[in-house]
Amino acid sequence: MTEAITRLFLVRHGPTHAKSMVGWSDLPADLSDTAALDRLHHYLPPDALVVSSDLSRARDTATAIGRDRQRLADIPELREIHFGDWELRSWHEIDAEDPDRIRAYWETPGDVTPPGGESWNQVCARVDAAVNELVETHRSRNLIVVGHFGQILTQIQRSEQLSAEEAFAHRIDNLSVSEITHRGTKMDRGWGIGAINHNP
């Protein structure tokens, strides 16, 4: 029996140009770089299913690169990190008020939580569950998943079996593609990694 291999192409949305922490705020993406969108469209598998988070910067990017591919319903659980009270504020502004917490959040990510937001471990649990369901529902397919910096890092961390600190060392550019695979039927194993932060 042939082993089921599901391929996920994780695409980060177009830039927002915000100079602050943008999590669940619904800022639009700048999709004016049509050449980059065309390259992405042609690079990604033509038979892939397209899915995104429900935030407009991911949804609109998915539409711009997906085109005639089949689109799945948006998944809210694929959202960016929920920054809570830090949302749309700069590092320097928060560092002046709560330096220990913000440094711990980014330098030793895990259970540290922004006020009113979610910890890194909570982000991983949320996104892992959503991706597991996608893979189980669409096993052996190619999936284009358009989302966010933090959401993509959760899957790189899982696939490479990294610590959170190691995962955060990865750069994830806007309109880049990171590729992961899942083999077999057990969701607690079978993950593999391909290109990370590839810019077609």
Give the pLDDT band of residue 185 (cuts 50, 70, 90).
confident
Catalytic residues: 13, 80
pLDDT of 150 higher than 70 = yes
Cβ atoms within 10 Å of 32's Cβ, excluding its own:
10
In angstroms, the first-to-last Cα distance of the chain is 34
Q: For residue 74, what pLDDT is reported?
A: 98
Condensed to tens digits (0 to 9), the pLDDT of residues 74-127 reads 999 999 999 999 999 999 999 999 999 999 999 999 999 999 999 999 999 999
Which pair of tokens denotes residue 109? 């990510």
Separation CA 190–CA 131 (nearest Å) = 14
Give the pLDDT band of residue 188 (cuts 50, 70, 90).
confident
Give the pLDDT band of residue 2 (cuts 50, 70, 90).
low
For the four alpha carbons of 148, 162, 19 and 91, in that order, the dihedral sign comes to positive
Q: Please, what are the domains in the chain?
A: 5-193 (3.40.50.1240)
What average pLDDT does range 56-84 have in this prediction? 98
* Residue 179 · residue 8 · CB < 8 Å: yes
pLDDT of 131 higher than 90 = yes
Helix H or strand E segment including 66: helix 56-66
Query: Do strands 49-52 and 191-193 pair parallel, antiparallel, or not at all (unpaired)?
Result: unpaired
C-alpha radius of gyration, the chain, whole number? 17
For residue 3, CA distances in Å to 48, 143, 179, 184, 194 come to 19, 17, 19, 6, 18
* Residue 146 · residue 52 · CB < 8 Å: yes
Which pair of tokens denotes residue 49? 């299913």
Give the pLDDT band of residue 54 (cuts 50, 70, 90).
very high
Which pair of tokens denotes residue 71? 């689109």
Query: Do strands 5-12 and 177-183 pair parallel, antiparallel, or not at all (unpaired)?
Result: antiparallel
Give the pLDDT band of residue 1 (cuts 50, 70, 90).
low
Nearest to 135 by CA among 145, 149, 126, 125: 145
Condensed to tens digits (0 to 9), the pLDDT of residues 21-30 reads 999 999 999 9
What average pLDDT does range 30-50 have in this prediction? 98
- 3-state SS, one letter per residue, for 39-81: HHHHHCCCCCEEEECCCHHHHHHHHHHHCCCCECCCCHHHCCC
